[in-house]
Every structure is written in structure tokens, then in C-alpha cells.
Amino acid sequence: MRRFFVLISLFLFLLPCSVSALSLDDKQLSDSRKKLYRKIESRTHVPWYLIGAVDQYEKNVRLARRDLPKQTGLAGLYIPPDKWSGALNPKAYESEPAAIALFGGMGRDGDGDGKADRNNDTDVLYSFAEYLASYGMRMDDYRIGLWEYYQRDKSVGIIFNHMKLIKKYKRFNLKERAFPVSLRSDYSYRSTWGDARGWGGRRIHEGTDVFAGYGVAVKSSCFGVIEMKGWNRYGGWRVGIRDFNNTYHYYAHLNGFAKGLKEGQIVTPGQVIGSVGSSGYGPPGTAGKFPPHLHYGMYKDNGRTEWSFDPYPHMKMWERAEKKALRKKRK
């Protein structure tokens, strides 16, 4: 019975801007992670939401890369052997804290069992938090520590965006999705990802075009943070949103933006971010060179590079789920 109420309340909480009810397992997993990060915070004073953001980033990178071992525990964070044990340590996977210290490695014993075990969630997260804390206790200090570790502005930016979402929603199961164009409008789309396109040289079509009338609401498909907003001669007025899975959602050819929309802002699934237009293919303000449509692209980042993948199957899924939820609501 209790399980039923939890499900119902979750479902009510998520309506109307999202479509999929979360399973209890997602919630339990999210709670367990939060507990783990809070434990690390209590020992290192590094904020749990920052530890959680790093862990979320690492979890996503691991999912997108083949050269890294698969995640087995609750923590997603992977510290490579040279960093863990110390670069000159002849032993690749050292677990003796004294030996690690001697070679200047990051590995620490977080749970007090005398071993710095790189397969132990607490040890791994504690080690990273201690590393960050060595730079100081302010957010700017942590930022420097992150930059030194990743040597990539983009990675640091993504981690800070994840942190914003965690601070606001205090959970890690931000999986709800929405179709990027209002379902009440007259729209059409088909799978055109990878097609050759006419303007701007030899490029492939990195997205799905949703044809709809001028002014039809364009919505965020996910929980995320606005990473980019502005003009580009190909995309016209466009917005880029980074979600919690480290996927970048690109919306182009807009007629205009939602009022007050700005870079760094959090968006939720179904939130209106702009409207359908035909901007682009020229200097700022150019419009009408093609029929109005939303160009929707999805890009995956693996911590090194970013690449486009076909949004079509995902859009079909979100559309179906949202229609189903709407029917349920009407009954």
C-alpha cells in the first residue's frame, strides 16, 4: 500500500511537465547515492552536491567510453591507476596508503580498514574529495582542483552544471523527458539524421527537423542547464541545453526565445524555451530561407570529444509516452 502511495505521489509531482513516472528503484538508488556523498562530505567538508556532480559526470563518461572498466559499485568515479597509485609507483594498483603517499598518488583509505581500495566506493570518493580539499575550501578553489585534474574547461563546466541541478532537486534520478514541440500543434517529422544537406559545405544533417507553424512552442526535452544561447549563421537563433546524462540538446532556427531565458539557467522537461521559426542561413536576423521548423540535435560527450547521434528514436519514445500520459490524465 505504501509503495502504491509513493508511486502515486511521485506521479502527481511529475505532472504535467514530464511523462515518465520513476520507478521506486530509481528513487532508492538516488537516495543511496545521496547518503554516500553526504558521508564523504561529513569527513572532508567538500559539499556533497559537488562530490555528487563529479560522480555523475564520471558515471556518464564511463557509459560513453569503451576503454574504461564498467561501473560496478554505487560510485561512478574512476581514478586511473597512475593517479591512484602515483605515476612512478611500480605497482599499478597500490592499496597500501603509505606506499601511495610515498609516490604521491591520490588513493586514500576512506572507510578506515587500513587499505586504499580503488574498488571501494567510499575510498574512491573520499580520495577525490581529499584531492579537491587540498586546493582550499571555496568553490573557486575546487574549480581549480577540477581543472588541474581534467585539464579541460568543458569538463569543469559540465560538472558545475550538474551541481546546479543536484543543489536544486536534491536527487540523482532526473530522468523525465518531454517531446520538444507542443503536442497540441500541427507538426510532422521523420528520420533525416545523417542526410546530406545543401547549405554550408559538406556536412551531414546532425538532427531531426520537426516542421510546424511559426510560433509553435519549443520545449526542453529534459532537465538541464542552458549552456549556449544566441545566433549562428547555420542555426539562426539557437539554444543548447546540457542534461544530467551529459547529452547536449541543440534547438535551432527559432523564431525567438522564451522571455528571460539565459545561459546558466536550469530548465525542466516540457518547459517552453522558445518558438518555431525559420531563422538562419545568413547574418543575424536572417529568416524565411526555408519553411519554419525546429532543428533538434543530440550530442554525446565522453570527456574528450562530442559527437552527434540520431535523436529520432528518442523523440518517438518521448512522443508516445507523453501522449499516453495525456490520455491517462483526461480519463
238 touching Zn ion, by CB under 5 A: no
Q: Of 174 and 294, which CB lies nearer to Zn ion in the complex structure? A: 294
106 neighbors 84 (Cβ within 8 angstroms) = yes
295 touching Zn ion, by CB under 5 A: yes
Q: Which stretch binds Zn ion (CB under 5 A): 19-27, 39-47, 117-125, 295-303?
A: 295-303
319 touching Zn ion, by CB under 5 A: no
Q: Of 209 and 243, which CB lies nearer to Zn ion in the complex structure? A: 209
Identify which of 229, 236, 218, 237 has the alpha carbon closest to the alpha carbon of residue 275. 218
Q: Is the Cα torsion angle 205, 207, 212, 214 positive or negative in sign?
A: negative
Identify which of 206, 274, 210 has the alpha carbon closest to the alpha carbon of residue 239. 274
171 touching Zn ion, by CB under 5 A: no
209 touching Zn ion, by CB under 5 A: yes
Q: How far is the CB of 281 from Zn ion (least distance, A)?
A: 11
Q: Which stretch binds Zn ion (CB under 5 A): 129-137, 165-173, 284-292, 293-301?
A: 293-301
Residues in contact with Zn ion, total (CB under 5 A)?
3
Q: Of 223 and 318, which CB lies nearer to Zn ion in the complex structure? A: 318
Q: Of 70 and 190, which CB lies nearer to Zn ion in the complex structure? A: 190
Q: How far is the CB of 142 from Zn ion (least distance, A)?
A: 39
249 touching Zn ion, by CB under 5 A: no
Q: Which stretch binds Zn ion (CB under 5 A): 82-90, 91-99, 175-183, 291-299?
A: 291-299
Q: Of 141 and 310, which CB lies nearer to Zn ion in the complex structure? A: 310
Q: Of 269 and 292, which CB lies nearer to Zn ion in the complex structure? A: 292
Q: Which stretch binds Zn ion (CB under 5 A): 35-43, 51-59, 82-90, 202-210?
A: 202-210
Q: In angstroms, rounded to a whole number, what is the distance separating the alpha carbons of residues 157 and 90?
A: 34
Q: Which stretch binds Zn ion (CB under 5 A): 46-54, 77-85, 113-121, 208-216?
A: 208-216
39 touching Zn ion, by CB under 5 A: no
Residue type, 280: G
Q: How far is the CB of 206 from Zn ion (least distance, A)?
A: 8
Q: How far is the CB of 207 from Zn ion (least distance, A)?
A: 5
Q: How far is the CB of 236 from Zn ion (least distance, A)?
A: 11
Q: How far is the CB of 277 from Zn ion (least distance, A)?
A: 13
* Helix/strand/coil (H/E/C) assignment for every residue in the chain: CHHHHHHHHHHHHHCCCCCCCCCHHHHHHHHHHHHHHHHHHHHHCCCHHHHHHHHHHHHHHHHHCCCCCCCCCCCCCCCCHHHHHCCCCCCCCCCCHHHHHHCCCCCCCCCCCCCCCCCCHHHHHHHHHHHHHCCCCCHHHHHHHHHHHHCCHHHHHHHHHHHHHHHHHCCCCCCCCCCCECCCCCCEECCCCCCECCCCCCCECCCEEEECCCCCEEECCCCEEEEEEEEECCCEEEEEEEECCCEEEEEEEEEEECCCCCCCCEECCCCEEEEEECECCCCCCCECCCCCEEEEEEEEECCCCEEEECCHHHHHHHHHHHHHHHHHHHC
Q: Of 45 and 203, which CB lies nearer to Zn ion in the complex structure? A: 203
Q: Which stretch binds Zn ion (CB under 5 A): 29-37, 227-235, 265-273, 294-302?
A: 294-302
Q: How far is the CB of 21 from Zn ion (least distance, A)?
A: 32
Q: How far is CA 102 from the centre of its chain?
A: 37
Q: Residue numbers of the site for Zn ion (CB under 5 A)?
A: 207, 209, 295
